[in-house]
Copies of this chain bind each other. A is one copy, B any other.
Amino acid sequence: MKKEIMSPAMKTEGKGVKVFYGEYVNEDYLFGYISRIIYGESGLQNIYILEHKFWGRLLFINNNLQFTSRDEFVYHEALVHIPIQSAPEGFIKRVLICGGGDFGAAREALKYPSVQEVIIVDIDPKIPKLVREYFPELLPEDPEDKRLKLITEDAYVIVNQYLQEEKTFDLIIIDSTDPDIGETTQELSHALFGVDFHAKLKKICPTGIIVQQCGTPFTMKNILTGVYRIYKEVYPEEEIYIYRANVPSFGSDNAFIMKCPFKNPQFPKGIELSNTRYYTFEIHQASFALPKFWKEALEL
């Protein structure tokens, strides 16, 4: 099934197949890139990497944009720094990332010296491999950082294992692809988006923070409302918070849901890092302000 589009010679010259590549964002609405495909593979997952004049490199899985080298920092900083800074200074020591095989979330978490362990569990062995070759900037500052461990496995399986071992975490990050939901009435089927999975996470993260990315609600509202419903089933309602970040290549604002047992997470509690490009304490606080139409959709 695998078909590499480029020969090694073409790679060296920075060439590939020049195409108009369209990503469907909603029905009859797409983002179009006139671009070269520098890596392509069809199989269980369809993976394409484009090299683009404005965005730099873009990674698509199953025709969903995962990130671009130009603005991935916004997504990863929002995903990681907001939960870490919502906890008391130094509280977050052990971090589990479900998905996140692109290393971006791990790179951000490892910026904190107080973080002692970061485990990435990603089902797809190809993503880390492709990132090492095509997106080295997503790797941690020290790629050999001893605190980092990458496990190639279904996160569901590993979480079960930790449950038996009674291993716990201070922060769990669900950094997965968006579930494949078309119409607004369809159920969330992806395992990492279910009540079962969260019930287990709650047990291995009993006193910490559990954060999940929820796509861009304006164009795919059912992810946010669906995950919010699941969070309300599993976690105490007063510990659930929603925040947002504008990742330019995603179009409209991306949503994140967080179970956080610490009061007033909108006020950062740690020490502000200097090595960020999006995140500041001012942005932290502002991220929790939601447009009125979001609140109405969520019945907040």
- Chain A residues in the interface with B (C-beta under 8 A): 22, 26-35, 52-55, 71, 74, 216, 218-219, 246, 248, 251-253, 276-280, 282-283, 285-293, 295
Contact = CB atoms under 8 A, between A and B. Distances in A.
Contact of A277 (B33, B283, B292): B292
A36 to B, nearest CB: 10
Contact of A32 (B30, B278, B295): B30
A293 B53 CA distance: 20
B278 A283 contact: no
Contact of A289 (B277, B283, B295): B283
Contact of A278 (B35, B276, B291): B291
A17 to B, nearest CB: 15
Nearest to A35: B28
A28 B52 CA distance: 8
A282 B278 contact: no
Contacts of A286: 285-289
A50 to B, nearest CB: 10
Contacts of A278: 291-293
Nearest to A288: B286
Given A27-B54, A71-B218, A286-B289, 11 more contacts: A29-B53, A30-B31, A219-B248, A246-B253, A248-B251, A279-B292, A280-B289, A283-B289, A283-B291, A283-B292, A286-B288
A272 to B, nearest CB: 11
A239 to B, nearest CB: 20
B277 A282 contact: no
Contacts of A295: 280
Nearest to A284: B289
Contact of A246 (B34, B252, B277): B252
Contacts of A27: 53-54
